[in-house]
Structure 1
Amino acid sequence: MTDVLHCDLCVLGGGGAGVAAARTAAALGAKVVIVEKRALGGAYLTKTVPVLAFCTAALQAANGAHGADFGTSASRKIDFGRFRAQVLAAIKIFARDFTPGSLTASNIELIRSVGSFSGSTRLDAGGRTIEAKHFLLATGATPALASLPGQELIRSLAPEDLLTLDRPPEDLIIVGASFQGLTLAQAFLRLGTRVSLIEGGPILPSEDAELVAPVLTQLAREGLTLHPHAQITHVEPLRGGLRVHLKGLPAPLEAAHILFAGAAPPLVEGLGLKNAGITYANSGALIDADGRTSNRRVHAIGSAAGGPESALSALGQAERIARRLFGQAGGGTIPPARVLDTSPEMAIVGLTEAQAREKHRSVRVLRAPLGDTPRARLTGAPAGHVKIVTNSVGYILGAGITGAQAREIIGIFGLAIGKDIKAADLDIIANAPILGEAISKAALASSPQLGKAPRRRAFFPRRAR
């Protein structure tokens, strides 16, 4: 007879986001089970932490900062030996939160197995049947490299291979203009590497081109050679490097290394999603604004739902879902932000202008350039702007920022969307730094009485969108 385990939440995936959701739910009194066969921590430890550390070190080196812990100096160089030791030490510290013992201490049961749904509320794993009130898909993505003619003849890199480098290469080809691909491109540029970036289609097509443009302009200024809509016909080895042939390009690209940073397919095959009545596509499980799948008992986050590429964004999304399920809803749904950690940063939350126009008859777009505030002129802040998309009565549907500290400021808009705060009421942050001034300027543009302070309320009644 199969052993049946009853719980409040079953999390499929023991990566950063899955463990974050499990810990939050357990802290709120839920009985939680994690199903994971692979190493705990997943891509969060093997990819997210090394890439974040590498890009931080590159920025310090470019700014001439003396970050001794990361091996950077004012000469735009990184001591890769010291850098590698520091990152490995950081990973070792982070890994303490991803051990079976740490999960047990948090009252979380770990089942070392793959799982497959056998019904809408049942999952089979490790010879046991798990019946849960709620399930969370946090399986991440497949670490797959592109398949190219001749690829077997060359040595290719993935983002997690950064710790194997002894020094930055003179030339680098990056395949995939994803959030991570663009961030790594700028990091290598700032270390003196000549970088070519290849993308098979447009650059970040699902994001607002108006917000992406300042980032691409800055990368071009720093020396990036960008090849959008490019088709790789084949690759071949060279002495000390490789050569990449592009369709329609007379001369091939040559570099010491090629790094694949394209979007990886989600790990959803073999989970028995059809048995649970979960609708999914190649991009992952289809979810609503609250992260629920077509099976109302099952939520999905991160790559499993074709969601935020950033593992850090997925962490926040996981914690919010757990709080909402187990007693800390707080009213409203705060959507996850998509953040590009380049300089300037780009952060977007909610609907883009194009998405809003597809869903709503009447849409207003409010803009304020970052270079058009007194503080920006004095400090020489990089080009960019704030963009707010509202419905006909001023409730915010989406927003985006391109500029310094965009990651920190975008949370204001996420809160406004979740709490139904009108754009006109965002002028309360007028005394904030550069971005705050730009947001205030855009907010005032939405006021029906320019020059007069709009009537403020902390929160507004929820309205159908």
Structure 2
Amino acid sequence: MADILTPDLCVIGAGSGGLAVAQAARAYGASVVLVEKARLGGNALHAGAIPARALVAAAAHAQALRDGAAFGISADEPKINFRKVHDHVEQVITALAPQNAAGRLEALGVEIVRGAARFINRKALSVGDTEIRARRFVIATGARLPVPSIPGLDAVPYFTSETILDNTRKLTHLVVIGGGAVALELAQAYARLGTEVTVIENGPLLAGFDPELAGVALKRVAEEGVTLRPHATVTAIQARSMGIGVAVQNGEADQLLDASHILVAAERMPNLSGLDLEKAGIRMNKADPRLLLLSPGLKTSNPRVYAVGDAAGGQSVQAAVRQAEVIVRSAILGTMAKPDTLRVPRVVSTDPELAEIGLNEALARTRHGVGFRVTRWSYADNDRARTSRATYGLAKLITDRSGKILGAGVVGPGASELVALFSFAMTGGLRADKLAELVAPYPSYAEIAVRLGEEFRRGEIAKPLIRQWINLNKLLG
């Protein structure tokens, strides 16, 4: 006889989004069943953000040795031991794994059921011999990596952005198919670790980010030896006895590249296969059949079922965590809310780092026409950047006419930390001129936020009405 569980909430998937939902629900006292068929922690811990950042950190140390001469420190070209680089990545994962361990979750009161979940009707799902009839369900099944339809690709071995993190050997020439954040992060990391790298993307690189800021990051990546081929298409892959042939078309020109390895780093898509969604009355989005049809509050067409994180079309851990709180408040407390996607930072861990929050210049122009203002500050005018020879960067603040902060973007050292300051200011409803009152350590990159506030204030003072008010005060004084 099958076991029957009747929790308040059933979460399908124990990645970042699923774990955030489960823990938030337990904080409200709800009973929670968490279903997972693989490893707790999901891709972010085992094959995504964490191991990728660990690899980027190792590559940064190699690059630091090359850049030492400018500081009066001479060093030979670094000797890379890929086995030990891989060991470093594994050690990071091992150190973080206990945060997602079954024992910790069970101590919080989360019941874990191992296996693949399938909906059997609108109100229940099964996991092996267990049937779960929850009051509410959350799909947190993460994303999968689609394989592009390139003739010949299936005839050669290739890496994905997940499997390459298991590599323990030096690569001769890595051809990266894809031009998003993960593709560029891995491309620069491997170049710094001594590999020839070519990046091919059939559109612009780092699409969706501010082109001015993205251009700064891409210029540095190219200067370090990565060959960037935007608006180019891989038309065929040729298996050879030695190496791999990669046919590339750029406009009317054709070229055949000699590669040793291929990395497929296309944009991830929701992993929804095997759930039998139709049995639960869950429909897909007509505009994009790969995505679930979701309400602004992340409900599916079955009001008992929500989606979070990659399963909801998201692309970041921080977005999933923000969504989790909204879902739990709706599912457990019955409150009506929707996640504010613009308040979630977007980060590319290249060097220099690129981070944005809120509206960038293009989005501001679409939404506000000419009713917005852009304030800039260069890293070259920051004393901390000068001391570190890290003047390769720019910060932009986007405001409306009243000074309300609509968004910010930074490319340079500590960009993600600086964007956190702008996130706090936006959440608190601070006007741009209030940034000038921040007392930042000296010298520090945080001073860039202060300078942006001062620069915005100078622009306000130049307005005719403000100048008239100042002149009036002079007369009265």
Shorter-chain TM range is 0.7 to 0.9
The answer as to 2:454 corresponding to 1:444 is: yes
CA contact (8 A) 1:211 1:401 kept: yes
* In 2, Cα distance between equivalents of 1:17 and 1:74: 44
**How big is each residue's C-alpha offset from its partner over 1:145-166, in whole Å with a ceiling of 9 and x where there is no partner?**
3231111221101233335434
Q: Which residue of 1 aligns with 2:134?
A: 131
CA contact (8 A) 2:147 2:264 kept: yes
The answer as to 2:429 corresponding to 1:420 is: yes
Percent identity reads 33
The answer as to 2:397 corresponding to 1:394 is: no
Pairing partner for 2:269 from 254, 265, 277: 265
Q: Which residue of 2 aligns with 1:174?
A: 176
1:94 Cα deviation from its structure 2 partner: 3.4
The answer as to 2:349 corresponding to 1:341 is: yes
Aligned positions, number: 440
- Give 3-state SS (helix, strand or coil) of 1:252's partner: strand
Larger Rg: 2
- Corresponding letter in the other structure for 2:240: L
Bigger mean CA deviation after superposition, 283-292 or 228-237 = 283-292
* In 2, Cα distance between equivalents of 1:74 and 1:105: 51
* In 2, Cα distance between equivalents of 1:367 and 1:355: 17
Q: Which residue of 1 aligns with 2:52?
A: 51
Q: Which residue of 2 aligns with 1:457?
A: none
1:258 Cα deviation from its structure 2 partner: 0.6
* In 2, Cα distance between equivalents of 1:350 and 1:316: 17
**How big is each residue's C-alpha offset from its partner over 1:294-347, in whole Å with a ceiling of 9 and x where there is no partner?**
777765443223223x44x346435654786679x9x99682211100110001
Q: Which residue of 1 aligns with 2:312?
A: 305
1:104 Cα deviation from its structure 2 partner: 1.8
**How big is each residue's C-alpha offset from its partner over 1:122-170, in whole Å with a ceiling of 9 and x where there is no partner?**
342335343335x443221113332311112211012333354343212
CA contact (8 A) 2:202 2:233 kept: yes
Q: Which residue of 2 aligns with 1:461?
A: none
* In 2, Cα distance between equivalents of 1:223 and 1:41: 35
Pairing partner for 2:360 from 352, 356, 359: 352
- Corresponding letter in the other structure for 2:314: G
Q: Which residue of 1 aligns with 2:445?
A: 435
CA contact (8 A) 2:283 2:293 kept: no
* In 1, Cα distance between equivalents of 2:13 and 2:257: 39
* In 2, Cα distance between equivalents of 1:183 and 1:341: 6
* In 2, Cα distance between equivalents of 1:337 and 1:421: 18
CA contact (8 A) 2:282 2:301 kept: no
* In 2, Cα distance between equivalents of 1:278 and 1:171: 40
Structure 1: tracts of 5 or more residues without a match:
66-72, 455-465
1:352 Cα deviation from its structure 2 partner: 2.1
- Corresponding letter in the other structure for 1:190: R
Aligned runs of 1:69-84 on 2, under 5 Å? 75-84=77-86
Q: Which residue of 2 aligns with 1:317?
A: 322
Q: Which residue of 2 aligns with 1:41?
A: 41
CA contact (8 A) 2:175 2:198 kept: yes
1:278 Cα deviation from its structure 2 partner: 7.5
Q: Which residue of 1 aligns with 2:97?
A: 95
Q: Which residue of 2 aligns with 1:30?
A: 30
Structure 2: tracts of 5 or more residues without a match:
67-74, 467-477
CA contact (8 A) 1:138 1:301 kept: yes
* In 2, Cα distance between equivalents of 1:108 and 1:8: 11
* In 1, Cα distance between equivalents of 2:141 and 2:180: 20
TM-score norm. by structure 1 comes to 0.82
CA contact (8 A) 1:50 1:162 kept: no
Q: Which residue of 2 aligns with 1:377?
A: 386
- Corresponding letter in the other structure for 1:16: S
CA contact (8 A) 1:283 1:306 kept: no
- Corresponding letter in the other structure for 2:456: S
Aligned runs of 1:186-205 on 2, under 5 Å? 186-205=188-207
* In 2, Cα distance between equivalents of 1:205 and 1:394: 28
CA contact (8 A) 1:14 1:138 kept: yes
Aligned runs of 1:7-22 on 2, under 5 Å? 7-22=7-22
- Give 3-state SS (helix, strand or coil) of 2:135's partner: strand
CA contact (8 A) 1:244 1:253 kept: yes
1:199 Cα deviation from its structure 2 partner: 0.6
1:245 Cα deviation from its structure 2 partner: 0.3
- Give 3-state SS (helix, strand or coil) of 2:65's partner: coil
- Give 3-state SS (helix, strand or coil) of 1:131's partner: coil
1:402 Cα deviation from its structure 2 partner: 0.6
* In 2, Cα distance between equivalents of 1:403 and 1:214: 9
Q: Which residue of 1 aligns with 2:416?
A: 407
CA contact (8 A) 2:418 2:449 kept: no
* In 2, Cα distance between equivalents of 1:10 and 1:96: 22
**How big is each residue's C-alpha offset from its partner over 1:32-72, in whole Å with a ceiling of 9 and x where there is no partner?**
2223333332212331233222221111122139xxxxxxx
* In 1, Cα distance between equivalents of 2:360 and 2:261: 35
Q: What is the Cα-based RMSD across aligned positions, in Å?
A: 3.4
1:348 Cα deviation from its structure 2 partner: 0.8
Bigger mean CA deviation after superposition, 160-169 or 171-180 = 160-169
TM-score norm. by structure 2 comes to 0.81
* In 2, Cα distance between equivalents of 1:285 and 1:332: 16
* In 1, Cα distance between equivalents of 2:347 and 2:88: 25
Q: Which residue of 2 aligns with 1:165?
A: 167
Measured at CA, do residues 300 and 210 of structure 1 come closer, stay the same or move farther in structure 2, by a change above 3 Å? farther
